[in-house]
Chain A
Amino acid sequence: MADPQAPSSAVAAIEAVEAGLAAQGYIASRQIATAVYLSQAIDKPILVEGPAGVGKTELAKAIAAWRGLKMIRLQCYEGLDEAKALYEWKYAKQLLYTQILKDKLGEVLGGAQTLHAALDQLHDFGDVFFSKEFVEPRPLLQALLEPQGCVLLIDEIDKSDAEFESLLLEILSDFQVTIPELGSIAAAKAPTVILTSNSERNLGDALKRRCLHLHIGFPEQKLEERIVESRVAGISQTLRRQLVAFIHDVRTLDLKKQPSVSETIDWARVLVLLQAAELGHEVVKDTLNVLLKYESDIEVALPQVTSFVAKAQRQNIFG
């Protein structure tokens, strides 16, 4: 089945994805790059799950920037419905036009001799009001109408209601939507769809089946160092290494909220701003609130700071 040329070119393509994303400042693991490549190759949306702040949304942005496409974002929340996500009729415009056209009504019906003929003419008149002119496209429809294709980010799908998922199914599998009055509208060019979820609730099987399932966890030490390197300008190698080692130690603690990559980057920026060349006991204590967002977490971490810092410094010597 697989033609012998495919493997090497596929690997090359995956590497190209890695490089392309890296150029946008997104350091992707091999698995992420494979997912992005596959979503192109077999036309499937990617469902990205993982803790907050590991770069799920960033991935969509990076893909859009890399491929020079527009990004359309749909933020999900409880109660999100068709009218807000897909399309809505421009009621006000319809009403306004009816008012303006009131005088014309006589002309429209003027020629009709019988009630039947008048009804027929009114019928045509009505169809005008439910045409494309009066449709207000919302993010999902916008994404389909984009002539160059786009990256459609459906953010935090787990926050929406279960009913909303069913609404997505047609788009995810066929890249089209059906508006009863107008018929099906298919995508001009299939958008690259990224869905993100923090696993707040379990998503339906139907939705999962239509997507590639990518789990982004906390990155490995080496990868996280590269991420910090690309995102934080002017950070010394020593500091970078110690900082990442320290954070990996912090993640072993029993915390309410584990520091994620976005916190790592914030912290690194703060430390650079404070002109710290190295991780020190004092500076860590003073800036721990950047890394940990709960008072109770800081209390848990504080007693460990000294030993973690020492460990991070040691690692730098040998590592």
Chain B
Amino acid sequence: MQENLHRFFRAARGAGVHVSPAESIDAMRAVASVGVADRTVLRDSLLLTLAKSEDEKKALGACFDLFFAHVDPAQAQAEEAAQRDATQDQVPAAPQPAQPPGEQATAELGPLARMLLAQSTTDISAAIANASSAVGLSEIRYFTQRGLFSSRMLEAMGIQRLRDDLDTLTESNPAHAERLQAALDGLRETVRDAVAQALALYGREETENLRHEILRNAQLSRIEPRQVAAMRALIRQIARRLRERYSKPRKRQRRGHLDVRRTIRRNAAWGSVPFLTAWKRRHRDRPKIVALCDVSGSVARVSDFFLLLIHSLHDVVSDVRSFAFSGHLIEVSEILETKSAEEAMAEIMDKVGFGSSDYGASLVDFERQFMASVTPQTTVIVLGDARSNKLDPRADILKQISERAKRVVWLNPEGRMTWGWGDSEMPRYQTFCNVVRPCATAQQLERAIGDIVAAYQ
């Protein structure tokens, strides 16, 4: 059972549940005290000791069901005991089939061929189990390793000998050879299934990481429709990470100078002997962010993700005002604050999205209605490709904004190479920005937003 538990911990890690050595010890103590006979109790105990959140419980529960679907805990224990007694040098430990069917020819065949012809399912599954531990099947991580592990397992089971047997049989007994061939095909399939199941158990995390890594660096504007959901999940994860990193209370730096007045008042009861001290609190700038987001047709996909991130930014930073524009500009702070991400995005796109962009007109809108929202504490973030369809870019308004604001950050979903080509007004705007960054992938987006939020910490 111990061995099985260790394999289960590995599977749990594969399912994304963090299992540290300390936790595995706890789990083993728990299992030792509840035993393995009652499957529900075992499941509950492992869930209680290993999973640390509701999500982890779900993942671990599914993992448990998959893992113990083919391992009966009580039986495994008995088997283990039996194995300890038995000598297990030869792999596969193929037991002699009780009655070899038919002719004596079978007696000259290798163990695997005899087993296949005997068609004893228990022997075959035992041999597969032996082979999988011999080749270390639980080490499988990537789907690309499936073929390799399948062939290694077949080798461990003695497929080389089987091929020879097949050759000799084809000459001496074609009918037998045919049966053996069919059985071999069946065996290949079973092994393939076993490998696939092992991959599902042990490989999930790595495969997912690989996929995430690819997504993270993919061009946001070129995401295929089928990847959009995964990308959204990724952006959410980024947002959550940003939130966790930056929303922690920051008390430590607060202690500065002694507040004499408050200290004396607080200790009046003890004749002003200062037992309790009071400290002056340093006031920090209230973070203020004004985000202007281009949602015109050309950058719609990117702004979709950007809005999603801004949506979660509303949780981290208390004072965010968001604006969306293509031909004209509207404030969307309230929509982002009160609605769920999906609803908010749909509504924003519905109101101003997908138009042809007019940066000049949008900046005029901003100047007329919202200029007052920019103060010396404000960071202004603009997300857009700065393509204004040959209309007047009104860079002078951006200049005004940058004079009022603490800083202006421009995130451009196009690469630097294209700035200034065609109708791109980026070089003109660039002069009035403190930071300009290409921002085409999720990773760049995360870094950019992280830097902006970090500036306030």
CB within 8 Å of B: which residues of A?
Answer: 1-2, 6-8, 10-11, 14, 30-31, 34-35, 37-38, 41-42, 44, 49, 91-92, 95, 161-163, 202, 205, 208-209, 212-215
Question: Could you tell me the distance between the alpha carbons of A221 and B35 in the complex, rounded to whole angstroms?
Answer: 30
Closest residue of chain B to A31, judged by CB?
A: B44
Cβ-defined contact, A161 with B30, below 8 A: no
Please provide the chain B residues from 1 to 59 with a CB less than 8 Å away from any CB of chain A in the complex. 1-2, 18, 20, 22-23, 26, 28-38, 40-41, 44-45, 47-49, 51-54, 57
Question: Can you spell out 25 A-B residue pairs with CB atoms less than 8 angstroms apart?
Answer: A2-B1, A2-B35, A6-B34, A7-B37, A10-B35, A10-B41, A11-B37, A30-B40, A31-B44, A31-B47, A31-B48, A34-B34, A38-B30, A38-B33, A38-B34, A41-B33, A42-B26, A42-B29, A92-B270, A161-B249, A209-B20, A212-B49, A213-B49, A213-B52, A213-B53
Q: At the interface, yes or no: B70 with Cβ under 8 Å from chain A?
A: no
Chain B residues near A91 (CB, 8 Å)? 270, 275
Cβ-defined contact, B32 with A162, below 8 A: no
Identify which of B41, B44, B270 contacts A95 (C-beta below 8 A).
B270
With A10-B33, A34-B48, A38-B30 as contacts: A161 and B38 at CB distance below 8 Å: no
A17 CB, min distance to chain B CBs, angstroms: 12
Cβ-defined contact, A162 with B34, below 8 A: no
Chain A residues near B249 (CB, 8 Å)? 161-162
Cβ-defined contact, B52 with A6, below 8 A: no
Identify which of A2, A31, A202 contacts B31 (C-beta below 8 A).
A2
Question: Could you tell me the distance between the alpha carbons of A24 and B18 in the complex, rounded to whole angstroms?
Answer: 36
Q: At the interface, yes or no: B269 with Cβ under 8 Å from chain A?
A: yes
Chain B residues near A35 (CB, 8 Å)? 44, 48
Cβ-defined contact, A11 with B41, below 8 A: yes
4 pairs of A and B residues whose beta carbons are closest in the complex: A7-B35, A7-B37, A41-B33, A6-B35
Cβ-defined contact, A6 with B41, below 8 A: no
Closest residue of chain A to B5, judged by CB?
A: A1
Cβ-defined contact, A7 with B2, below 8 A: no
Question: Could you tell me the distance between the alpha carbons of A8 and B23 in the complex, rounded to whole angstroms?
Answer: 25
Cβ-defined contact, B49 with A92, below 8 A: no
Cβ-defined contact, A2 with B36, below 8 A: yes
Interface of A is mostly: helix
Chain B residues near A208 (CB, 8 Å)? 52
Please provide the chain B residues from 238 to 290 with a CB less than 8 Å away from any CB of chain A in the complex. 244, 248-249, 251, 269-271, 273, 275
Cβ-defined contact, A7 with B34, below 8 A: yes
A68 CB, min distance to chain B CBs, angstroms: 23
Identify which of B40, B51, B275 contacts A213 (C-beta below 8 A).
B51
Chain A residues near B77 (CB, 8 Å)? 2
Cβ-defined contact, B48 with A212, below 8 A: yes
A209 CB, min distance to chain B CBs, angstroms: 6
Cβ-defined contact, B48 with A161, below 8 A: no
Question: Could you tell me the distance between the alpha carbons of A30 and B31 in the complex, rounded to whole angstroms?
Answer: 16
A98 CB, min distance to chain B CBs, angstroms: 10
B327 CB, min distance to chain A CBs, angstroms: 34
A200 CB, min distance to chain B CBs, angstroms: 12
Please provide the chain B residues from 142 to 161 with a CB less than 8 Å away from any CB of chain A in the complex. none
Question: Could you tell me the distance between the alpha carbons of A163 and B255 in the complex, rounded to whole angstroms?
Answer: 15
Closest residue of chain B to A215, judged by CB?
A: B54
Question: Could you tell me the distance between the alpha carbons of A1 and B28 in the complex, rounded to whole angstroms?
Answer: 9
Cβ-defined contact, A163 with B251, below 8 A: yes
Identify which of B23, B38, B57, B273 contacts A209 (C-beta below 8 A).
B23
Chain A residues near B23 (CB, 8 Å)? 209
CB within 8 Å of A: which residues of B?
Answer: 1-2, 18, 20, 22-23, 26, 28-38, 40-41, 44-45, 47-49, 51-54, 57, 77, 244, 248-249, 251, 269-271, 273, 275
Chain A residues near B51 (CB, 8 Å)? 213
List 5 additional A-B contacts (Cβ < 8 Å) besides A35-B48, A215-B54. A2-B1, A42-B30, A95-B273, A213-B51, A213-B53
Chain B residues near A163 (CB, 8 Å)? 251
Cβ-defined contact, B33 with A42, below 8 A: yes
Closest residue of chain A to B243, judged by CB?
A: A202
Cβ-defined contact, B34 with A49, below 8 A: no
Closest residue of chain B to A95, judged by CB?
A: B270
Cβ-defined contact, B251 with A161, below 8 A: yes
A45 CB, min distance to chain B CBs, angstroms: 12
Cβ-defined contact, A44 with B26, below 8 A: yes
Cβ-defined contact, A6 with B269, below 8 A: no
A210 CB, min distance to chain B CBs, angstroms: 9
B249 CB, min distance to chain A CBs, angstroms: 6
Identify which of A1, A34, A49 contacts B44 (C-beta below 8 A).
A34
Question: Could you tell me the distance between the alpha carbons of A93 and B37 in the complex, rounded to whole angstroms?
Answer: 59
Question: Could you tell me the distance between the alpha carbons of A34 and B29 in the complex, rounded to whole angstroms?
Answer: 14
Cβ-defined contact, A1 with B41, below 8 A: no
Question: Could you tell me the distance between the alpha carbons of A38 and B43 in the complex, rounded to whole angstroms?
Answer: 13
Identify which of A1, A14, A30, A212 contacts B2 (C-beta below 8 A).
A1
Chain B residues near A8 (CB, 8 Å)? 35, 37
Question: Could you tell me the distance between the alpha carbons of A38 and B46 in the complex, rounded to whole angstroms?
Answer: 11
Chain B residues near A34 (CB, 8 Å)? 34, 41, 44-45, 48
Question: Could you tell me the distance between the alpha carbons of A183 and B278 in the complex, rounded to whole angstroms?
Answer: 27
Cβ-defined contact, A30 with B44, below 8 A: yes
Cβ-defined contact, B38 with A7, below 8 A: yes
Chain A residues near B38 (CB, 8 Å)? 7, 10-11
With A49-B54, A209-B20, A215-B54 as contacts: A38 and B35 at CB distance below 8 Å: no
Cβ-defined contact, A214 with B41, below 8 A: no
Chain A residues near B54 (CB, 8 Å)? 49, 215
Question: Could you tell me the distance between the alpha carbons of A214 and B57 in the complex, rounded to whole angstroms?
Answer: 10
Chain A residues near B18 (CB, 8 Å)? 205
A167 CB, min distance to chain B CBs, angstroms: 14
A194 CB, min distance to chain B CBs, angstroms: 13
Question: Could you tell me the distance between the alpha carbons of A7 and B36 in the complex, rounded to whole angstroms?
Answer: 6
With A7-B37, A163-B251, A215-B57 as contacts: A1 and B32 at CB distance below 8 Å: yes
A10 CB, min distance to chain B CBs, angstroms: 4
Chain B residues near A38 (CB, 8 Å)? 30, 33-34, 45, 48-49
Chain A residues near B53 (CB, 8 Å)? 49, 213
Chain B residues near A7 (CB, 8 Å)? 34-38
B246 CB, min distance to chain A CBs, angstroms: 13
Chain A residues near B2 (CB, 8 Å)? 1
Question: Could you tell me the distance between the alpha carbons of A208 and B22 in the complex, rounded to whole angstroms?
Answer: 12
Identify which of A1, A37, A49, A162 contacts B248 (C-beta below 8 A).
A162
Chain A residues near B41 (CB, 8 Å)? 10-11, 14, 30, 34
Question: Could you tell me the distance between the alpha carbons of A193 and B14 in the complex, rounded to whole angstroms?
Answer: 31
A230 CB, min distance to chain B CBs, angstroms: 22
B47 CB, min distance to chain A CBs, angstroms: 8
A30 CB, min distance to chain B CBs, angstroms: 7
With A91-B270, A213-B52 as contacts: A1 and B1 at CB distance below 8 Å: yes
Chain B residues near A42 (CB, 8 Å)? 26, 29-30, 33
Chain B residues near A6 (CB, 8 Å)? 32-35
